[in-house]
A and B are shown apart, each in its own frame.
Chain A
Amino acid sequence: MAHSYLLSALTFLPLVGALFIVLFVRGGCGGNCACKTSSNATAPDGGGCCGGSKATGGCCGAGNTPENKKASCRCAQSVKTAQLFALAVSMLTLGLAGVVFAAFDPSQTGFQLVERLAWIPSLNIVYVKGIDGISIWFVMLAALLTPICVLSAIGGVKKRVKEFMVALLILETMMIGVFTSLDFVLFYVFFEGVLIPMFLIIGIWGGEKRIYASYKFFLYTFLGSVLMLIAIIAMSLKVGTTDMTVMMGQSFPKEMALWLWMAFFASFAVKTPMWPFHTWLPYAHVEAPTAGSVILAGVLLKMGGYGFLRVSIQMLPEASAYFTPLMFALSLIAIVYGSLVALAQTDMKKLIAYSSVAHMGFVTLGIFSMNRQGLDGAMYIMISHGLVASALFLGVGVVYDRMHTRDIARFGGVASVMPRYASFFMVFTLAALGLPGTSGFVGEFLAMQGVFEVNTWLAFFAAFGVVLGAAYMLWLYRRVFYGEIKHEDVRGLQDLCVREKAMLAPLAALILAMGIYPLCVQTHFTKDIGKLMAEYNSRIGQIGENISAESLKDTVRLSLVPPSMPPPSP
């Protein structure tokens, strides 16, 4: 039992780090709180690599007394300490996540590294943690993206740096908590707990309409989630415990299951987001600071898909089967509508936000096609989108830090002044449109294949999403990077600095690795997806797929064939 509390350690390590920053990193200023007349200096500062010091200097520069200078010096130092400490903590968390990953045995199905403690015995609530091949990837995603976000924030966040790092670390605890919790109340606590730091991140460090965006984000998700809370309560009363592992084997009366499913749908559909519950997303994405957008796109959206897999499919299979047509319809609309709207955007972040809606449409389409290819594809898209969308937002953040605009029309010809940046962005663009050889292709291909098996017409319409995806991504790339330099300030842009390379390079490497050798990711989740599907089918009573142990192995092998074929080189 060497690993007995590994997951708890992983979950709460960032929280402890955040606490440490709050308590021990001196920061009377925390950015600019010391001076009441703070005009948070947003003067464009070319490189943007060594952030913090300029803004704080500006803040305390009101008086020129020696004390003030001293204070400003201390300010800059505390900002730096907070940044480095947050980076260290998040890297340590990533390391610990690596340990978890190594301890995880992909040859087994079911939950591993399970921890079980009494939490609120009088309410039958236990503290259960565990991961399986599905959740481990989201944990890894959260652990990977947080240090990258810290890196991006070192350049992008100029005010209240210490608080930002604290919020980011708390957010990491909540995200990892969601994916490792196997008790429903614990799950809910983390699921909802995400809202507080994210609300603050959007509202404090966001753009112009940040307040509207943060409200919309919070209230939308909150309303969806409280309905889920009622469903959780109803389910746990029926089963007698809030332990999700126990609940997965239970069946509920048909009518009750339908209501429960709808309540969960309210929450997950908002989180995913599915059309027509997506309207918070463009605002939240656009107004959030770069790190916030990355976390939103990379991890928070996956909570919806994870919820569908973990709760809707695994606990309420009958209701899921009943609502499959609805899910297909909404997913198709999301794909086509999201892509069309993305085509019309003039704001880079908004374009990527709508493309997220479309990609998430593929995810829900794949999940509810309920066959191997579809489910594997949905998982793959979620992981891939977590990397690609994050990378795109980081890429937008890079130019935003320099130009303070995301308006596509303000750019043009960037490739000639920032060649390295352009090549990175090219990789991400191609991954987003699903070029073979990148991670984006594998998932979309599998999901399409899965849907094709269910209904040809569904696949036909979903294919429009792929075509339109290529259109809006390539058009974005052309408008920003190619053509004449129309604006003088573009000419003065500096190419990526070391910090920015450090945050983009790992993502680019992973995107290519996942595209070239999909099995490196798939072996971990495929067994558990198979188990999920077998349970689903046996619950539904379909004999469409054989579910005996041997044939399960066959299907596993079969479904692995297409993606591991050598992709045509671009």
Chain B
Amino acid sequence: MDISQSITVAMPELTLAVLGLGVLLGGLSKRAETPIAINMLAIIAIGLTLITVFLPARLAIVASESQTGAMLAFNGMFRDDAFARFAKTIILIASAFALMMSQSYLRKEKIAHAEYPALILFATLGMMLMVSANHALALYVGLELQSLSLYVLAAFNRDNARSSEAGLKYFVLGALSSGLLLYGLSLIYGFTGTLDFARLATVAGTLPTDQTQGLVVGLVFVCAALAFKISAVPFHMWTPDVYEGAPTSVTTFFAAAPKVAAMALLARFLYGPLGAISEQWQQIMVLAAVASMLVGACAGVMQTNLKRLMAYSTIANIGFALVGLATAGREGAEATFVYLAIYTINVIGAFGVLLALRGKGRELENIKDIAGLSKTNPALAFAMAVFMFSLAGVPPLAGFFGKYIVFVAAVKANMVPLAVLGVAASAIAAFYYLRVVKLMYFDDATKAGAELEPTKNLGIRFVVSATALLAVIFAIWPSPLIDGARLAINSLLLG
């Protein structure tokens, strides 16, 4: 395996790394309009990366070299397959959307520094490495690149106490979870003698019982660490605080791309190397799924801060996505990623609406501020209603189909109680989604709410309209996403 082949396989990551460094260098310029130009450059960089992911010439080489459509690089550390490409597509689009909506917010908060787009790019690069990791060390490196960028982003509004607090909190807990991950990985290494995913897969199924127990302990630690990253209960505590404290544009980013990346990593790790001991990790996933759905649904009811409400919504949604993984089957994994893609669209759109509205020198945060929005700004209110109903899982919006697919997987795997708990949780969660709609449509604007002014920023308008449109038309044209997820999971299961 020569280096040129590795470069071909890892071309998107290399592209993003080089362009990210370029963005960082470009940020050294002191001119006033630099941040805007840099932001544009970063969006273009993501676009170029997305193109290289699907570059026909690259795909042709990948396809010609392997029968399964999967290609290894750098001595088996890195792997490019349909699954990775599927996850990368969602991640890149989510990152691009987040960047498009960031500039106007950052400028108004007076924190429009050139490092911001660079950090987003590096976090995205970390996520791409995560989903392509084929070795526990590559996994760790990717995860840390992502996490460290995110810690800084959370505290990006450094003069703001809440933002700094969010960054610190995220860092301390994140560091703890990294420690758990490393400890788990070292246990796995100790009991199996390898960190390579392919080798792990062959070893894990053939271990004697006492060694399997050791492997399971390692597995629990790894699952705990990754549960932290996807903010699954009981490792969700940081989520509301960090969501609330971090700048809203950062929260938008947090809620979408990193969740997809960490879930992809989790799926790859569980289905690939640990597929042989699926009955062991299945229990963990069931527990995490049920707890996340219920906690996310119940705790969200009490929230009065929109960002915290969205944090609990994220937790509940991660629970629904985990239902898929908890089935430990092909349909389940498919369902998880269809669900996550739909969730990403919804959550980015919902945060887009929050970013689009600003009061006098402050942002929209209190749930009461949104009251009467349907009168002051019908278009934004309509978009928000679409996202809320979609998140609640009401047909004919996209969110319903996500839930449907997840529950189909659960019932197919004979896990009807899980599905019943899921629908119960979605009925509870419907309460707080409805509350947002109620405030927007049924109530009159409060004094603070009347001061809110809709943005004229094109990026935000574009993202909100695009995501709302996607949430609506998914019912008419659902196949591309579902078929894409199917292809992705096929390649994941081929090993």
Contacts and interface: CB of A to CB of B under 8 A. Distances in A.
Interface of A: 30, 32-33, 36, 38, 119-123, 163, 185, 188-190, 192-193, 195-196, 199-200, 203-204, 210-211, 214-215, 218-219, 222-223, 226-227, 229-230, 233-234, 236-237
B229 interface: no
B277 interface: no
Given A36-B450, A219-B430, 12 more contacts: A188-B395, A189-B396, A189-B475, A196-B389, A199-B434, A199-B437, A200-B437, A203-B438, A215-B431, A227-B420, A233-B407, A234-B416
A192 B394 contact: yes
B403 to A, nearest CB: 8
Interface string B394-431: 11100010001101100110001001100110110011
Contacts of B375: 32-33, 36, 38
A7 to B, nearest CB: 17
Given A189-B400, A234-B411, A214 B475 contact: no
B441 interface: yes
B411 A237 contact: yes
B179 interface: no
Contact of B408 (A190, A210, A226, A237): A237
Contacts of A190: 395-396
A204 B407 contact: no
A234 B445 CA distance: 45
A188 B430 CA distance: 17
B54 interface: no
Interface residues of B, number: 39
- Chain B binding surface, main DSSP class: helix
The interface centre, meaning the residue of B375, B395, B431 with most chain A CB atoms within 10 A of its CB, is B395
A196 B438 CA distance: 12
B482 A230 contact: no
A167 to B, nearest CB: 10
B479 A33 contact: no
A237 B412 contact: yes
A230 B442 contact: no
B378 interface: yes
A378 B423 CA distance: 32
Contacts of B445: 36
B376 A36 contact: yes
Contacts of A36: 375-376, 445, 450
17 contacts: A33-B374, A33-B378, A36-B376, A36-B450, A123-B405, A123-B482, A189-B475, A190-B396, A193-B396, A200-B441, A215-B431, A219-B434, A226-B393, A227-B423, A229-B404, A230-B407, A233-B411
A185 B400 CA distance: 11
A192 B378 contact: no
Nearest to B392: A222
Nearest to A215: B434
A122 B426 contact: no
Nearest to B375: A33
Nearest to B475: A189
B486 interface: yes
Contacts of A119: 478
B483 interface: yes
Main secondary structure of the interface of A (DSSP, over half): helix
Contacts of A203: 438, 441-442
B442 A210 contact: yes
Task: Give the interface centre of A196, A210, A237 by most chain B CB atoms within 10 Å.
Answer: A196
Nearest to A263: B420
Given A185-B404, A233-B404, A233-B419, A222 B442 contact: no
Contact of B430 (A33, A214, A222, A236): A222
Nearest to B435: A215
Nearest to A174: B396
A544 to B, nearest CB: 35
A200 B388 CA distance: 13
Contacts of A215: 431, 434, 438
A507 B282 CA distance: 59
Contacts of A196: 389, 394
A264 B13 CA distance: 50
B411 A192 contact: no
Interface string B90-116: 000000000000000000000000000
B74 to A, nearest CB: 34
Nearest to A211: B442
A222 B394 contact: yes
Nearest to B405: A123
Contact of B407 (A38, A163, A229): A229
Contacts of A219: 427, 430-431, 434
B197 to A, nearest CB: 28
Contact of A192 (B400, B420, B442, B482): B400
B416 A230 contact: yes
A434 B335 CA distance: 52
A127 to B, nearest CB: 10
A124 to B, nearest CB: 10
Nearest to B374: A33
Contacts of B416: 230, 234
Given A189-B475, A196-B394, A215-B438, A123 B408 contact: yes
A44 to B, nearest CB: 22
A38 B445 CA distance: 10
Nearest to B411: A233
A300 to B, nearest CB: 15
A195 B478 CA distance: 22
